[in-house]
Amino acid sequence: MLAVVGTIPDKEFPLTSGPVLLNDDHINIRDKAVNINRGTPALLAAAVETLKFMKKPNPVGYLIGDIGLGDGSRRLYKFLTENLKSASFHTITFHYLQPDVDWCNKVILTIEDMSQRPILIADAGFMYVAKMSGNATIFDLFTPDAGELAFLADEEAPHPFYTRGFILHEENLIPDLIKRAYIHGNAARYLLVKGKQDYIVDKDGIITVIDSPDEEALEPIGGTGDTLTGIVSALIASGMEISLAAALAAKVNRLAGYHAMPTPATQVSEIIKQIPRALEDVFNSRKTLI
Amino acid sequence: MSLFKSFKKKIKNEPDPQNQDRGILVFENTSEVIRAENILKTEGWKIKVMGPPPEIRSGCDLVIEFPLIEELYVLRRLTEVGVKPIKVVPVNSVLLKPVDLFQIRDFGRHLMIRAANMKIAVDKKTLMIVNVSGGGCPDVPYLASQMVGKYLTDAPHPGDIGHTLCGYALQIAYDEIRNRCSL
């Protein structure tokens, strides 16, 4: 089963855990409904669609309201350290959380005590703190974009905001940045680097590059990275090998974007609606597409 | 060997991970340090007054260590009470500077600016903010919800309602896109 840990951009949203359902443009958890237009709800919506296609159970969400003050994130971190040990998940995806090195270390120590070690995926704030805290290599998959890859590649930078210019300049040299991130121990076992081309890599180099369909208008659309992380998390939680899941997820996310006929003004909920069709496309003609 | 410990091996001279989320506030003089310390401690921040690292020693013999991720919020609060620091730097790499490079993409009707990990896109004709993307701190979805669909002339500034370094990066992208749209 997949668990997703993240935040809701509403400071009043209480700490809530439980199975997540999808109803049109909202996810439902317990008695609460949240719009899927961005962030962790967009990730969860994409994961629900993918798990449904794979005939697997819905994800479990661990969610709390946080608008950047970090208070909600720290309560959620505390809850995880108190409750995760007795839980059992195949895969856990950590998403929009306030980076906090102390709490990240405590959560990882708790995971170490779980009876079965889950596959660990990190994106957004938890990917930042996994790198900051020196724990990147514990994770099985990170899903950075080009700017975040530069941050992973910069061994000095504590946050993408402080990435050094000479590394940011190398954005077009993605393979070099990947190598640098692994040399300094700041990458997960696998990386799914999302961008004009999606790279699936490990410490030995590039495994696959997915570059079609190429919809330039997807880049400015908030949430397209979240949907990719949701799809790959769901495929991995379904039992698929990580690098294959990453390649298929990249293809599905691109096709969902393509089917939405996007402009830079398109909202990610329109793309999420196309995920079932994109999954059909990819899995029905997998041999010719990958 | 435990899973955690087995992965703790780091290359020599790497930054200390335990300090990676901490920053340093540098002030003009010690009385400002004391005022800032009182304000931040009263408001519940995890801060520490300490001596400055040699690279940034400039006369004042005290600095304040604080949670770097929340730089935007801390700076705004100290500015409000008139004790704005002269410099903010990460603890582990005090010579690092905030990103000042932009990536600009023109999609015809729409313009996108990226600063660090944050992107903002506007409709060039109407000046409406059509998307905010990137980032990883929890104020990013909040900022997007507050800004998307509003016009550049009316939208709240990320520097006013954001709290983190992602919010700070979005403010830089926001300033640049306003500049390019001649606002």
Asked if residue B117 has pLDDT above 90, the reply is: no
- Residue A282, helix vs strand vs coil: helix
- Residue B150, helix vs strand vs coil: coil
What percentage of chain B carries pLDDT values higher than 70?
89
**Is the bond preceding A158 in cis, omega lying within 30 degrees of 0?**
no
Structure tokens of A28? Answer: 């439902």
Length of chain A: 290
Chain A residues whose CB is inside 8 A of the B102 CB are none
Domain range list for chain B: 17-90, 102-180
Query: What type of residue sits at position A290?
Result: I
Mean pLDDT check: name the lowest of A42-56, A199-213, A266-280, B44-58: B44-58
Asked if residue B9 has pLDDT above 60, the reply is: no
In which band, very low, low, confident or very high, does the pLDDT at B30 lie, cut at 50, 70 and 90?
Answer: confident
Chain B residues whose CB is inside 8 A of the A116 CB are none
* A153 Cα to chain B: minimum distance (Å): 12
pLDDT confidence of residue A241: 98
pLDDT confidence of residue B14: 60
pTM, entire model:
0.90
Inspect the interface and report whether the beta carbons of B112 and A164 lie closer than 8 Å.
no
Inspect the interface and report whether the beta carbons of A220 and B130 lie closer than 8 Å.
yes
In the numeric block, the tokens 């006929």 are attached to: A261
Residue of B60 and B127 predicted with greater confidence: B127
Decide: A4 and A47 in contact? Cβ < 8 Å.
yes
**B56-102, pLDDT tens digit by residue?**
765 547 889 999 999 999 999 999 999 999 989 998 877 777 777 78
Helix A242-259 and helix A224-237, axial crossing angle in degrees, nearest 10? 140
The neighbour count for residue B53, using CB atoms within 10 Å, is 14
Chain B residues whose CB is inside 8 A of the A99 CB are 21, 69, 136-137
Inspect the interface and report whether the beta carbons of B7 and A135 lie closer than 8 Å.
yes
Nearest CA in chain B to A130: B17
Inspect the interface and report whether the beta carbons of A219 and B119 lie closer than 8 Å.
yes
Question: What is the DSSP code string of chain A?
Answer: -EEEEEEES-TTPPPEEEEEEEETTEEEETTEEEE-SSHHHHHHHHHHHHHHHTT-PPPEEEEEE-SSSSHHHHHHHHHHHHHGGG---SEEEE-S----HHHHHHHHHHHHTSSSPPEEEE-HHHHHHHHHTT-GGG-SEE--BHHHHHHHH-TT-SSGGG--HHHHGGGG-HHHHHHHHHHTT-S-SEEEEBSSSEEEEETTEEEEEE--S--GGGTTSTTHHHHHHHHHHHHHHTT--HHHHHHHHHHHHHHHHHHT---TT--HHHHHTTHHHHHHHHHHSHHHH-
Rounded Cα distance between A170 and A255, Å, is: 28
Instruction: Tell me the pLDDT of chain A averaged across its residues.
Output: 94
Asked if residue A203 has pLDDT above 60, the reply is: yes
Could you say which of B9, B70, B98 has the minimum Cβ distance to residue A162?
B98
- The structural architecture, per CATH, of the domain B102-180 is 2-Layer Sandwich (3.30)
Mean pLDDT of A219-235: 97
Nearest CA in chain A to B93: A156
Mean pLDDT check: name the lowest of A143-152, A216-225, B11-20: B11-20
**A42-96, pLDDT tens digit by residue?**
999 999 999 999 999 999 999 999 999 999 999 999 999 999 999 999 999 999 9
Residues of chain B numbered 53-112 and touching chain A (CB < 8 Å): 67-70, 73, 90-93, 96-101, 103, 105, 107, 109-110, 112
Mean pLDDT of B111-129: 95
Query: What type of residue sits at position A53?
Result: F
Chain A residues whose CB is inside 8 A of the B88 CB are none
Decide: A132 and A158 in contact? Cβ < 8 Å.
yes
- C-alpha Rg value of chain A to the nearest Å: 17
Asked if residue A287 has pLDDT above 60, the reply is: no
Decide: A139 and A114 in contact? Cβ < 8 Å.
no
CA A16 to chain centre: 20
Residues of chain B numbered 150-169 and touching chain A (CB < 8 Å): 162-169
Could you say which of B10, B23, B138 has the minimum Cβ distance to residue A134?
B10
Q: Which residues contact A1 (CB under 8 A, 6 or more apart)?
A: A56, A57, A59, A60, A88, A89, A90, A91, A237
Of residues A120, A37, A107, the one with CA closest to residue A76: A107
- The structural architecture, per CATH, of the domain B17-90 is 2-Layer Sandwich (3.30)
In which band, very low, low, confident or very high, does the pLDDT at A188 lie, cut at 50, 70 and 90?
Answer: very high
Residues of chain B numbered 19-58 and touching chain A (CB < 8 Å): 19-21, 23
Inspect the interface and report whether the beta carbons of A220 and B133 lie closer than 8 Å.
yes
In which band, very low, low, confident or very high, does the pLDDT at B2 lie, cut at 50, 70 and 90?
Answer: very low
Main-chain dihedrals φ then ψ at residue A10, nearest 5 degrees = -150, 110
* A1 Cα to chain B: minimum distance (Å): 22
What percentage of chain A carries pLDDT values higher than 90?
89
Chain B residues whose CB is inside 8 A of the A137 CB are 7
Nearest CA in chain A to B123: A265
Q: Which residues contact B42 (CB under 8 A, 6 or more apart)?
A: none
Mean pLDDT check: name the lowest of A44-58, A256-270, B40-54: B40-54
Query: What type of residue sits at position A29?
Result: I
Domain range list for chain A: 2-289
Interface test with B, best of A63, A67, A186 (most B CBs within 10 A): A67
For the segment(s) A2-289, the CATH number from 3.30.470.10, 3.40.1190.20, 1.25.60.10, 2.60.40.60 is 3.40.1190.20
Rounded Cα distance between A19 and B116, Å, is: 35
Of residues B128, B171, B174, B130, the one with CA closest to residue B151: B128
* A71 Cα to chain B: minimum distance (Å): 10
**Helix extents (H) in B53-155:** 71-80, 139-147
Decide: A218 and A224 in contact? Cβ < 8 Å.
yes
The neighbour count for residue A277, using CB atoms within 10 Å, is 14
Decide: B111 and B121 in contact? Cβ < 8 Å.
yes
pLDDT confidence of residue B97: 77
In the numeric block, the tokens 């310390």 are attached to: B37
β partners of residue A145: A194
Mean pLDDT of A260-272: 97
